[in-house]
Structure 1
Amino acid sequence: MSESKQTILDVNNLHVSFQTRNGEVQAVRGVNFSLKEGETLAIVGESGCGKSVTAQSIMRLIPTPPGVIKEGSIKLKGKDLTKYTEKQMREIRGTDIGMIFQDPMTSLNPVLTIGDQISEGLFKNSKVSKADAKKRTIELLSLVGIANPEERLRQYPHQFSGGMRQRIMIAMALVSEPGVLIADEPTTALDVTIQAQIIDLFKDIQKRIGIAIILITHDLGLVAQIADRINVMYAGKIIESGTVREIFYEPQHPYTKGLLKSVPRLDGDRNEPLIPIDGTPPDLFAPPKGCGFARRCDYAMDVCLQYDPEPTSVSEHHSVRCWLQDERANKAVKAIDNRSPKINFQSK
């Protein structure tokens, strides 16, 4: 990826909470990341880690109440979207940022043809004739790999397979040629073959029109095929960030290593069992005092339970939030393996 490409999206110190009867759920806790033109950034992590809430916050689609952006900024081409009114955001959605949701069947209107649903975005965001809207709709259906688009634009969502419906959602998101496309678990309900086709489609579209993509997923296999960089989220925070090669071949955070160990490999021993991450994520009604992963971590130290680590740079593009990066932990870590008891390490 060229270093000359400009940053199109910049998220800084984002905090998002939900007020419930039982208290405040701190879903996103100080997230920072940027996205360059034409880049693919993957955000990965377990269910409930805050990745989908982060995506919805960028689009300002969090229901308010109970959700609220408590702190931070979301700058698109230098303009802070957290300051925008709902009317202003309606103009941004679809034109500057497009989004693909998890389940296309619930996102598509069952009583409207797909041609009407795609062209609706054209009529909303620009003044076009019916003939031009139909022409553009056919172009988009062709772009996303739907055969016989002239005939199929008159059909309804139930007449398409799950993979085809997801392609229609991609076409709808690309109607006004946005600079950023957010794909929230776009292949979750699809079989492996169709998943590969959708990922190939993303890569092809990106090559053709240069769109920047944020891919929200828990599937590391998909990430390896398409992403330039990866943000690993846990308990509402980005705990490790780096290029695909750095995350897959030089992971630094115990959680990242645990995710990679739990993924089956074609080049691995078929008789070797997968290693799960013991325990469960913390309750974000009352986030833990120190590192959110400490109570599940085999390397956890006293300091991990008391203080949240700050990001540490491993390389130019690789950073991690972990006390194991502290020079005082090096000797202690060398003396233990993955199943050793917790060790003591006092903070400054």
Structure 2
Amino acid sequence: MSGPDSSSPSDVLLEVKDLHVSFTTYGGEVQAVRGVSLTLRRGETLAIVGESGCGKSVTARSLMRLLPPQTSKIRQGSIRFQGRELTGLTEKQMREIRGSAITMIFQDAMTALNPTITIGEQIMEGIIRHQKLSRSEARKQAVEMLELVGISNPESRLKQHLHQFSGGMRQRIMIAIAAVGNPSVLIADEPTTALDVTIQAQILDLFKLLQRKTGVSIIMITHDLGVVANIADRVNVMYAGKVVESGTVDEVFQHPQHPYTKGLLASMPRLDSDRNTPLQSIPGTPPDLFAPPKGCAFAARCPLAMEVCADFQPDTTSLSGGHGVACWLQDARAKQMVPPNANTFIRSAIG
């Protein structure tokens, strides 16, 4: 069975099919991404969510071919951008796409930006390289972009260095650098993790503003379901290198079908819950991706697991409204068994 995809070919900007990425380490080969498929449509925000180590950031960096070639490898799969296959491009060809058609915002601005040169030079560098403009024209664009992302006195700010900006302003500068070339796709990898809730809300509003003004498509990588609910149109939930559930945010949040998704949602604090009620958690730990399980990777932690879950990987079952889930509970071929040890967190999530 194939996953859901209700979009027409003309709407799809980026399409990933059966992507497998591994890393060579002293301890062996880590299978970090194991058959990920996703689509990004024009003008939408797609969130990729999951706990640390699930493969979401590796997936994002694979789209831009930013993984270290010495230790990483795309073992199989396809990444097509505007109909063009990216996995076979040379590094020179990819450099023409990075920073212009596809750009990326990283989590930590202090390590992603250069503290030794001015902010203006860093913004203008991409403009001059990709748009072939003069320095005066590039400077004008840089000023306009700083104004757009909400930095006051942009003319004087261009001359300043990274240490002269707060954390929220640094993130705005990162967004300005990524968006100044009017890219088709903007990938944001945990862009609000280190920010307080007030600044986080401002940054998310800025992404929405950019999308309205430029029509850019956004891939938002996050472990924060609150961010997903605030900004995304669709969401892919990842676990152990695989997409286990996908669909619109409303479908996945209001009608979750995979036990892992239900567990994530049950662990979120709720405004309508008693403040003395403890948050629920998912017992156990993710599997070792040096030797992934042959069946469903979540089976060992899942209170609804059946015998088939441990022995075979589930296909993605298409539900209504483009909602897809990779779980044997949704597969008509699985025997209907009474699940053992249905823990409280699942019962609560199911309601």
Q: Is the 8 A contact 1:235 1:292 kept in 2?
A: yes
Gaps of 5+ in 1: 341-348
TM (norm. structure 2) is 0.93
| SS of the residue 1:119 aligns to | helix
CA apart distance, 1:330: 7.7
Q: Is the 8 A contact 1:298 1:339 kept in 2?
A: no
**1:244-284 superposed Cα distances (whole Å, 9 cap, x missing partner):** 00111000000000000011011222121111000000010
Q: Does 1:51 align with 2:56?
A: yes
Residue 326 to residue 129, structure 1, CA distance change in 2 (3 Å):
closer
CA apart distance, 1:2: 9.5
CA apart distance, 1:317: 1.0
Query: How large is the RMSD of aligned CA atoms in angstroms?
Result: 1.8
Residue pairs, 1:226-237, within 5 angstroms: 226-237=231-242
Residue pairs, 1:159-308, within 5 angstroms: 159-308=164-313
Task: For 2:222, give the aligned amino acid.
Answer: T
Distance 1:219 1:228 in 2: 15
Distance 2:335 2:212 in 1: 43
Distance 2:173 2:7 in 1: 31
Hey, what does 1:142 align to over in structure 2?
147
Q: Is the 8 A contact 1:94 1:175 kept in 2?
A: no
Residue 273 to residue 330, structure 1, CA distance change in 2 (3 Å):
farther
Judge which range, 124-133 or 35-44, deviates more: 124-133
Q: Is the 8 A contact 2:305 2:340 kept in 1?
A: no
Gaps of 5+ in 2: 1-5, 346-351
CA apart distance, 1:338: 3.4
Distance 1:184 1:336 in 2: 36
Distance 1:303 1:331 in 2: 11
Hey, what does 1:344 align to over in structure 2?
none
Hey, what does 1:345 align to over in structure 2?
none
Distance 2:8 2:85 in 1: 24
TM (norm. structure 1) is 0.94
**1:208-251 superposed Cα distances (whole Å, 9 cap, x missing partner):** 11100000000000100110000000000000001000111000
Distance 1:43 1:105 in 2: 24
Q: Does 1:309 align with 2:325?
A: no
| SS of the residue 2:151 aligns to | coil
Give the share of equivalent positions with the same residue, in percent.
65
CA apart distance, 1:327: 3.6
Distance 1:114 1:34 in 2: 34
Q: Is the 8 A contact 2:33 2:58 kept in 1?
A: yes
Residue 282 to residue 140, structure 1, CA distance change in 2 (3 Å):
same
Task: For 1:24, give the aligned amino acid.
Answer: E
Q: Which of 13, 16, 20 is the aligned partner of 1:8? A: 13
Distance 2:10 2:165 in 1: 38
Distance 1:130 1:61 in 2: 28
| SS of the residue 1:190 aligns to | coil
Q: Is the 8 A contact 2:303 2:339 kept in 1?
A: no
Task: For 2:23, give the aligned amino acid.
Answer: F
**1:57-83 superposed Cα distances (whole Å, 9 cap, x missing partner):** 001000011001010111000001101
Total equivalences in the alignment:
340
Distance 1:336 1:293 in 2: 15
Q: Which runs of 4+ in 1 moved over 6 A?
A: 1-5
Q: Is the 8 A contact 2:303 2:340 kept in 1?
A: no
**1:97-156 superposed Cα distances (whole Å, 9 cap, x missing partner):** 010001001111111110010000011112211211110000110111111111111110
Q: Which of 84, 87, 92 is the aligned partner of 2:92? A: 87
Q: Which of 112, 121, 126 is the aligned partner of 1:116? A: 121
Hey, what does 2:349 align to over in structure 1?
none
Distance 2:218 2:117 in 1: 28
Distance 1:203 1:115 in 2: 24
Distance 1:4 1:82 in 2: 20
Q: Which of 29, 38, 41 is the aligned partner of 1:33? A: 38
Residue 4 to residue 305, structure 1, CA distance change in 2 (3 Å):
closer
Distance 1:115 1:333 in 2: 63
Residue 70 to residue 328, structure 1, CA distance change in 2 (3 Å):
closer
**1:180-207 superposed Cα distances (whole Å, 9 cap, x missing partner):** 0000000111111111100000001101
Task: For 1:58, give the aligned amino acid.
Answer: L
CA apart distance, 1:332: 3.1
CA apart distance, 1:5: 6.3
The structure showing larger relative contact order (alpha-carbon pairs under 8 Å, at least 6 residues apart) is 2
